[in-house]
Amino acid sequence: MSRKGILFVISGPSGVGKGTIKDLLLSRLTDVRLSISATTRPPREGEVAGRDYFFLDSQEFSAMINRGEFLEYAQVYTNMYGTPKRYVQDKLSQGYDVLLEIDIQGAMQVKTKMPQGVFIFIEPPSIDELAFRLSSRGKDSQESIAARLAASHAEMESLKYYDYVVVNDNLEDAVNKVHSIIIAERCRVKNNC
């Protein structure tokens, strides 16, 4: 590969379908690498270190924070999660595009460290549809759904910091639009010099 890779960041409110879009994109694009997160939580059955996550203990994770080795990190309940900078930079320098699917707060941290990335906001067709999706997936309590919906209003304000917006009102259309963005960015002169 002769060009440097491009970092693509997909984010949006919880329940908008960004994980499903990511999975479908990766099944189509064999030359894109998914960013692998680090976590302090123990591996679940079937998870493989270095494929699913980089599993670290709390001391290792804290040391990486202190050395500035994360593009972003956050505490989720009792565990830490973060995007190791070196992994992303290594893949980009090898000419691979890297896809990072992350929450909005994490995306804003990445934007401060790698503003040259391409930031894609996945938007729900409506708040009512988002509420339906969160309820129908059966993962969250009513209190959790209410909190996620309340947060989504504030998260929608972050749209202005993104390069693209894709409304996920039809999954196949949304995947095609994100795929088109990736192709268009690969054709930009600045990404080929």
CB 149 within 8 A of CB 32: no
Q: How far is CA 63 from CA 41, 70, 125, in A?
A: 16, 11, 41
Q: What is the greatest pairwise CA distance in the chain?
A: 51
95 belongs to an annotated ligand binding site: no
**Is there a binding annotation on residue 115?**
no
What percent of the chain is predicted at pLDDT more than 90? 65
The whole-model pTM stands at 0.87
Instruction: Check the annotation: does 106 bind a ligand.
Output: no
* pLDDT tens digits, one per residue of 101-126: 998 989 999 999 999 999 999 999 87
Q: How confident is the model over 30-64, as pLDDT tens digits?
A: 899 999 999 999 998 999 999 989 999 999 999 99
14 is in an annotated binding site: yes
| pLDDT single digits (tens) 121-156 | 999 987 777 777 777 776 667 777 777 777 777 888
CB 77 within 8 A of CB 118: no
Q: Is 32 annotated as a binding residue?
A: no
Helices (H), the chain: 18-28, 58-66, 85-93, 104-113, 127-136, 142-156, 171-187
Per-domain boundaries in the chain: 7-191
Residue 68 assigned to a binding site: no
Task: Tell me the CATH number for domain 7-191.
Answer: 3.40.50.300
4 appears as a binding residue in the annotation: no
